[in-house]
Structure formats: structure tokens, C-alpha cells
Structure 1
């Protein structure tokens, strides 16, 4: 008499083993690997965005700094016109000057060589940090490069303040330069 099916399966020990646990383990390993990869990608994206944010410089006019209550220690770019009579030269290469957007003013301290085109009444952009006393300690000062060019950020800030009296936009001066093909945009 042949053994009962339950007895033969139990006798061989095959009823307890099925391919399902092996597939489940393979699936589980795949899920862990996918989860690990996603975690690494998320960490990489967070690091890149953090580095990008730390190196991002926002442009502000003196009016923007006061209106938006920018935090001291913030790295920024500030621009405007150097006010007449505001340039004070200290020992060595130290200099302090005031920039204005026509509505508000801001004192900028700089220790370094100023660009050759830097002078009172000209547009500049300074990159640096806002100090707790409301001044800016600049790491770099950029001056406009000819008598018709003004940085677009400065023009926009002056237009918002209602003090822009120039013709058109700074892009207009670039268009003249492109049309004439010479170094003189007039």
C-alpha cells in the first residue's frame, strides 16, 4: 500500500520549503537597495542645495536692505551711486563711502584697491556682508565701465525708488554698442 500523500510530503520535508521565501528575500534585498540609493540621492541633493544657497548673492539697493530687514552677517551685493563728498580714505587702502539709490543711503567700508573708474556720482556694485550696525563691509567693489553703462540692478533699484533719470534701460546702451560695432555706444 502506498503511503498517504501527507505522510510522503512530511516524510521528505518538502512541504515546509517552498520557493516563496526565496523570492521574498530577493524582493526585500531589492527594496533595501532601492531605499539606500534613494537616501544617497536625497543626501546629495541636500548637500548641493546647501552649497548653492551658501554661495548665492542677492542684489539689494539701500532701500531694499532697510525695507526687507536683511539679517546682519548676510552675504549680499549692494549697488547705487556713490554720493558726492562721501568718500573717506583711511590708512593704507581703507576707504569708506556712501551709496544711494535716490531714496536711502548706505555706508560701505572697503579695504583694498578701488577700480580705476570708481568716483563720486558713479554707479557701483559692492559684494560683502551686512554688519550689525547697518553698514556693509565689502570684499569686492565693481565700478561701471563707461559713461553710459550702469549695472541693470542699480537701474532697476533707482527706477523703483523713482530716481532714474537716464534714457531707456541699460539694455538700450548695449544695443547701441552692438549696432555700431565700436567701443563707443553713442
Structure 2
């Protein structure tokens, strides 16, 4: 076999090994991956019920309510195009409020509602801890 053919064979084997390793990694992670959807994405093409996903959007004003069991919170997440009802059993983060951004991890129920297992409240880049904000308003700067 000529040296040119040996190099070509080695390059093809290396390429096949890289592709094989990538496919193995993807197949191992497919159950762990949670994709981000907006309510409009869910309305257009919802994944199968029970598939782990992340739902992101804004908590609609007037939609947050605590259910009679005392630990389940129901609210509606919207993105300006569509809305999705969400149910979460647990303690909500401190930054969670109506009109703020939220990312809910969980799955779709058969009725099209979202069952959240974890809630991540988002804040904007201008966030400042309440202690610092109070200090800034009193003194006009953060130096003191």
C-alpha cells in the first residue's frame, strides 16, 4: 500500500472515530437534555406529554394563586403571543412575582398545562440588593 493510501485510511478511521464518539455522547445525554420552549413554541408544536422541557416567559399579572392544599401554586406564563398554565408544588423563589421573567423546569401534562418541578425566577441586569438600593437612595451614591 502506498503512503498516500495509508494516510487517507488513517484520516478516514480518525474521522469515523470522532463521529462515533459524538454519537455515543449524544445518545447518552438525550434523556438528560431539557430544551427551552416559549408558550408560542408549545402552541405551535408541543413535545410529547412527559418529556422534560424548560418553559420560559413572563408571569401574567393577576394569574398567581395558591391552591387549597397550601403548597401548590398555579400561574400563567406568557410571551406576548401565547400563554401556558403552570402548576408548581413547592416553595417559590424570592424573585418570583407577577410581571417578572421565569423559567420553569418540568413537563407538559396531557391536558396541555405545564407541571413544574423547579422554578427559576429571572431578574433584569439592573438588579440591586434591597440593602444597596436603600443606601443609594439615602446618600446618592454607593461609596458610603
Shorter-chain TM-score tier: 0.5 to 0.7
Residue in 2 aligned with 1:81?
Answer: 58
1:119-165, CA deviations, whole angstroms, 9 ceiling, x for partnerless residues?
Answer: 0000000000111111111110000135747xxxxxxxxxxxxxxxx
Count of aligned positions = 111
Q: Higher helix share goes to which structure?
A: 1
1:26-48, CA deviations, whole angstroms, 9 ceiling, x for partnerless residues?
Answer: xxxxxxxxxxxxxxxx6x87664
**Structure index of larger Rg:** 1
The separation in 2 between residues aligned to 1:141 and 1:65, in whole angstroms, is 18
- Alpha-carbon offset, residue 93 of structure 1: 1.6
Structure 1 residues 148, 70: closer, same or farther in 2, change over 3 A?
farther
Residue in 2 aligned with 1:139?
Answer: 117
TM-score normalised by L of structure 1: 0.53
- Alpha-carbon offset, residue 69 of structure 1: 2.9
Q: CA RMSD in A?
A: 2.4
Structure 1 residues 45, 144: closer, same or farther in 2, change over 3 A?
closer
Say yes or no: does 1:98 pair with 2:76: yes
Where relative contact order (Cα < 8 A, 6+ residues apart) is larger, the structure is 2
1:13-162 equivalence runs, <5 A: 48-90=25-67, 91-146=69-124, 148=126
